[in-house]
Homo-oligomer: A and B are copies of this chain.
Amino acid sequence: MMEIIERLKVKGITLTPQRIAIVEFLGKSVAHPTVEDIHKAIKRKYPTMSMATVYSTLRLLKELGEIQELSIMKRGKACFDPNPKLHHHFLCRKCGKILDMDVDCPIIKKGWVSGCRVEEAQAYLYGVCSECLKKEQSAKE
C-alpha cells in the first residue's frame, strides 16, 4: 500500500488525508467495493467526505493505472479492484458476490479472432456461484 502512496507522491499528486484513506481502504479490500461501499466505509472516519470526492479520487487512481474499474456491474453499480492487472471476474447473480477467476482463456490460447491478433483478455462471467448452487441443491433435497 505504501508503494502506491510513494508512486502518487512521485507523480506530484496532492495526498489529502481523504485520498490516503480511499487508497488504504481499497488496498485492504477483496470484495470489489462499489463507490457507495467506499463512501460508507470512509465516512466513519471522515464524516464530511462527499461522494464527489470518492468519485474524483477513484477516477484519478484509475487514470494513473493504480486500480481498475470493473464493468461487471454489482447490483447495477460499477465496482473497483485494487489490482490493475488484467484478470477474470465472476459475478454471482444470486448473492451478488464478485470472485476473481483463475481460468485459462481459450481465445488467448488460440491467439486469433476475426483476423485480429489477441494478446491479453479480461472476461466478466455471470452466473451462480458454487456456494449458492449448494444452497439450491440442499433446498431441493
- On A, residues with C-beta under 8 Å from B are 55, 62-63, 65, 68-71, 73, 76-78, 86, 90, 92-93, 99, 101-103, 105-107, 113-130, 133
In the complex, are the beta carbons of B126 and A113 less than 8 A apart?
Answer: no
**Least CB separation from A94: chain B residue:** B117
Given A86-B124, A123-B124, 6 more pairs with CB closer than 8 A: A62-B78, A90-B114, A92-B116, A105-B123, A116-B129, A118-B127
Bound-state Cα–Cα, A107 to B104, Å: 10
Contacts A70-B71, A71-B70, A76-B65; A116 near B103 (Cβ below 8 A): no
Q: Specify which chain B residues have a CB less than 8 angstroms from the CB of A121 in the assembled complex.
A: 123-126
Bound-state Cα–Cα, A3 to B61, Å: 36
Contacts A126-B118, A126-B119, A126-B120; A63 near B90 (Cβ below 8 A): no
Bound-state Cα–Cα, A69 to B70, Å: 9
